[in-house]
């Protein structure tokens, strides 16, 4: 009986592996290059084409047969494991560099007998309880953090900073490997100095930092306090997804709560942020997305060039500093309808219905990383990001 069962299992496994590969065709309409384009395929479609497929026993290959790094998430709540016992897999994710003029590419997904390799981690997110509830995230290009409830608490018996802000910080990297854990382990003073990997030289304070939000009433910006709760949905190696929630705050008689979902992809200097607003007291609000007017370290004699491009819904800064190099920051708000400012921030404005979601992009690039050495190069990058956001790729599956 045992031999018969083993024989049947072997026959089933051989049959599964003999299934024809799933062909993935990706097309788009732009003439520009699309480096590190992230491609997602619902795992349900993979499992339909490759019955019994396991996330650790597949290979994703380009048209030349090169094996590509991939990731399988459990983002999709309807996803089932191969035995139908509940949530297991969500999306198959991989990346491809489209050259300028290359508007179509084909890939295959196939089952393998060997266990797939562990691919290098290029995205990472973590709650930092050891540093007053910071939440930090990064990819191979740039790092960020924001601030939790412990930092906002009044001083009692422990000596600490008190800062009430929902602004977003920038950590400048000159290396592609993960640095969040390394920098926190080195201690607070170390990461304010460039010791070869980069540095935290960006000032947030009570501003919006690089891509924080608030509610604009026509004259005044009303912003949330520090984030309240966090949840990591996916954590690399190609894409990290996490959510931060903010307690209800008042905006001139309107009560607003916010949940931000961050999508952080390898190879990109700007992250996607989907902010969903719960609103009481109004059917619609004006959301402001901001960049800090004074982001440089003290004593850096900063010179800032700001470039708004209404057609793209983008706003960039190019910050020249005395000893810290050159820093580009940017926000892209595709739904933006106007720009304004207050005493701390440059702002892009967009109307959002109660219960609605605003999708925008925010990030930075540092001259010492070697990619952006002028305002022109940074602005060109942001313009390309805006174009790609407006014209996403299309994915067609052929079993």
Phi first, then psi, for residue 47 (nearest 5°) are -70, -30
Average pLDDT on 359-381 reads 97
DSSP conformation class of 24 = E
pTM recorded for the entire structure: 0.92
Tokens of 343: 């005493």
d(CA 172, CA 163): 21
21 neighbors 379 (Cβ within 8 angstroms): no
DSSP state letter for 370: T
Beta-ladder partners of 287: 215, 350
pLDDT in tens, 294-327: 999 889 999 999 999 999 999 999 999 999 999 9
DSSP run (H or E) holding 91: strand 91-98
**Interatomic CA distance for residues 11 and 16, integer angstroms:** 9
Radius of gyration of the chain, Cα coordinates, nearest whole angstrom: 23
The pLDDT of residue 158: 67
Kindly list the distances between the CA atom of residue 333 and the CA atoms of 166, 255, 347, 351, 358, in Å, as whole numbers in the listed order: 18, 23, 10, 11, 8
pLDDT for res 15: 43
What's residue 161's pLDDT?
A: 85
- List the one residue out of 387, 269, 385 whose CA is nearest residue 30: 387
Q: Average pLDDT, stretch 348-353?
A: 98
Which domains, ranges and CATH numbers included, belong to the chain? Answer: 2-116 (2.60.40.1180), 124-390 (2.70.98)
Residue 207 has pLDDT above 80, yes or no: yes
CA 42, 48, 54, 57 dihedral sign is negative
Cα torsion 152, 258, 211, 274: sign: positive
Q: Residue written as tokens 């931000």?
A: 260
> Average pLDDT in the 212-224 region?
98
């Amino acid at each position: 009986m045992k031999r018969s069962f083993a024989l049947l299992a072997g026959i089933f496994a051989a049959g599964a592996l003999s299934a024809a590969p799933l062909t993935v065709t990706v097309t788009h309409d732009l003439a520009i290059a699309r480096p590190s384009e992230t491609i997602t395929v619902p795992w349900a479609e993979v499992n339909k084409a490759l019955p019994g497929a396991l996330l650790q026993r597949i290979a994703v290959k380009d048209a030349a047969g090169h094996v590509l790094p991939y990731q399988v998430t459990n983002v999709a709540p309807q996803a089932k494991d191969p035995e139908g016992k509940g949530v297991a897999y969500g999306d198959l994710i991989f990346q491809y560099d489209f050259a300028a003029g290359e508007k179509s590419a084909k890939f295959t997904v196939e089952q393998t007998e060997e266990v797939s390799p562990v691919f290098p981690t290029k995205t990472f997110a973590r709650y930092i309880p050891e540093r007053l509830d910071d939440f930090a995230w990064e990819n191979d290009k740039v790092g960020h953090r924001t601030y939790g409830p412990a930092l906002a608490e009044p001083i009692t018996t422990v000596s600490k900073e008190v800062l009430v802000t929902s602004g977003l910080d920038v950590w400048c990297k000159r290396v592609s490997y993960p640095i969040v854990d390394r920098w926190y382990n080195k201690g607070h003073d170390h990461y304010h100095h460039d010791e070869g990997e980069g540095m935290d030289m960006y000032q947030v304070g009570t501003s919006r930092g690089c891509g924080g939000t608030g509610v604009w009433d026509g004259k005044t910006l009303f912003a949330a306090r520090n984030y309240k709760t966090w949840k990591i949905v996916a954590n690399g190696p190609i894409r990290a997804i996490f959510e931060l929630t903010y307690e209800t705050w008042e905006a001139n008689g309107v009560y607003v709560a916010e949940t931000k979902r961050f999508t952080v992809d390898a190879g990109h200097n700007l992250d996607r942020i989907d902010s969903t607003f719960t609103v009481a007291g109004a059917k619609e609000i004006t959301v402001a997305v901001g960049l800090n007017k004074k982001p440089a370290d003290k004593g850096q004699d900063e010179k800032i060039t700001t470039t708004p491009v209404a057609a793209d819904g983008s706003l960039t800064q190019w910050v020249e500093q005395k000893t810290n190099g050159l820093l580009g920051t940017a926000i892209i708000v595709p739904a933006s309808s106007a720009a304004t400012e207050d005493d701390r921030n440059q702002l892009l404005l967009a109307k959002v219905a109660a219960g609605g979601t605003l999708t925008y992009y925010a990030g930075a690039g540092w001259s010492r990383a070697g990619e952006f050495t002028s305002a022109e190069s940074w602005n060109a990058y942001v313009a390309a990001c805006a174009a790609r956001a407006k014209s996403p790729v299309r994915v067609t599956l052929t079993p």
